[in-house]
Amino acid sequence: MSVRRERLQAEIADIRDRSALRRVVQRADHVFHLAAQVAVTSSVDDPKTDFDINVGGTMNLLEEIRSAPHPPSLIYTSTHKVYGTLHNFILRREGRRYVRTDGDRAGIDENTNLNFHSPYGCSKGAAEQYVLDYSKTYGIRSVVFRMSCIYGPHQFGDEDQGWVAHIMSRAIAGKPITIYGDGCQVRDILFVDDLIDAMLLARQRIGDIAGEAFNIGGGVENTISILEFIDLLSEFNARPHVSFGDWRIGDQKYYVSNVRKFKTVTGWTPRMSVREGIRALYEWLMEAHVAPEFLVRQAS
């Protein structure tokens, strides 16, 4: 289905449909590749579909870019899950979060060994390696973003993806949540506007950074644990009832991006603090155009 407007053409299609990709790629100057099966849990339940979408779909896209008369450049959105569980880190609990005690608190950089864990980690990791190799082998101007937790307006999330928005929307709707693990797991979260800035900078500098992978997240200045996030929700009178479940496959107790590599080559740095970003998401969820019954439905 195509919808035409003066400055926008939307084509709703499946990345596994190579003919649909051909129609759009041949008209593109640049491709932002965000299409994916996004949940670790879904990949464990159905690894074949996860593979078909994340690896097969990405291969479809790469081949259509390669065969285009004027191949567009590409930014591929990968995941920090390609680093695996990072179980070799030495951690301890301090208050309501884990901290590293092995002398390195600058975050995980791109020199960290890849160690795929879960079908999702495998499929995203395999796809990103093809993206990088197509740059080396075929000269496709491509870049990989290994992203941490992205959040912001227009996201609701669920138990498997988008945890910041998921927990907040359930809290607003008065619904309980389940935390898998102990809640002290730490992530660096990145506001969506900062991600868009990074993508646009990468597109502008694609000639200089093609063939590279970058860790993209909020960095050490924007870390929060799940329990700390729930505590913060109390400021909005939206603290949910919490229960706990077992750790899930591929869970990381601690992941914080070291974003120095991308910052060095582009000058990019996250601008939105954790507190400001969470408030912006809360205000968007509470705006009049988001019907309360829709929030309840999303959170149920």
Catalytic residue annotation: 120
> For 84, which DSSP code?
T
Q: For tokens 């408030």, name the residue.
A: 279
d(CA 43, CA 246): 18
Q: Which helix (H) or strand (E) holds 212?
A: strand 212-216
> For 170, which DSSP code?
H
Q: For tokens 């910041």, name the residue.
A: 164
d(CA 95, CA 218): 21
* Residues 133, 209 contacting (CB under 8 angstroms): no
Q: Give the dihedral of Cα atoms 199, 200, 203, 208; nearest 10 deg.
A: -90
- Which residues, 6+ apart, have CB-to-CB distance to 293 below 8 Å? none
Q: Hey, what are 92's tokens?
A: 């301890």
